[in-house]
Amino acid sequence: MNDIHLSDYLDHMLQAAKDACGFVEGLDRADFLDDKRTQQAVVMSLIIIGEAATKVMDSHTAFAQTHDQLPWRNMRGMRNRIAHGYFDINLDLVWDTVQTALPQLLEQLHGLRQDAARTNDGS
pLDDT 10s digits, 42-61: 999 999 999 999 999 999 99
Question: What gap in Å lies between CA 30 and CA 70, rounded to an integer?
Answer: 29
- Which residue is catalytic, options 60, 76, 79, 110? 79
The one catalytic residue among 37, 81, 84, 113: 84
Contacts of range 65-74, beta carbons closer than 8 Å, 24 or more positions apart: 67/112, 67/115, 69/108, 70/105, 70/108, 70/109, 70/112, 71/101
Per the annotation, the verdict on 79 as an active-site residue is: yes
Per cent of the chain over pLDDT 90 is 76
Name the pTM for this structure: 0.89
Model confidence at 114, pLDDT cuts 50, 70, 90, reads: confident
For the question of residue 81 being annotated catalytic, the response is: no
The model's pLDDT over 84-109, given as tens digits with 9 standing for 90+, comes to 876 789 999 999 999 999 999 999 99
